[in-house]
Amino acid sequence: MQFVKSFFVLLLGAFSALYLLNVGAGVVELIPDVVPFVGNFDEATATFLLLNCLAYFGVNIGPLRKLLPADKRLKTEQPGFPADKK
């Protein structure tokens, strides 16, 4: 069952990555970008899905590494700011 879940997450990540790469050349879009206020929701959703799929496999990107639950450092590392180290 774990294999099926991992395979589904992999397919979802691949789909969202291809959607963000714009392989449809703007012809295939769920929500056209010219629609006011909601035009970029499809890209935002694809980005969210891709980041969560990467986090599922243990790949965390940049500053989001502290926000995603796949990162084990959440339990051991205390947040701090450079100004606190005076």
Phi and psi angles of residue 64, each rounded to the nearest 5 degrees, phi first: -75, -10
Residue with tokens 């909601």: 38
For the stretch 41-53, pLDDT in tens is 888 888 999 988 9
Show the CA angle centred on residue 83, arms to residues 79 and 86, nearest 5°. Answer: 110
Residue ranges in the chain whose pLDDT is less than 50: 74
pLDDT at 16: 92
pLDDT at 76: 52
Segments making up each domain of the chain, as ranges:
2-77
Q: What is the pTM of this model?
A: 0.62
pLDDT at 50: 93
What span, in angstroms and rounded, lies between the C-alpha atoms of 84 and 86? Answer: 6
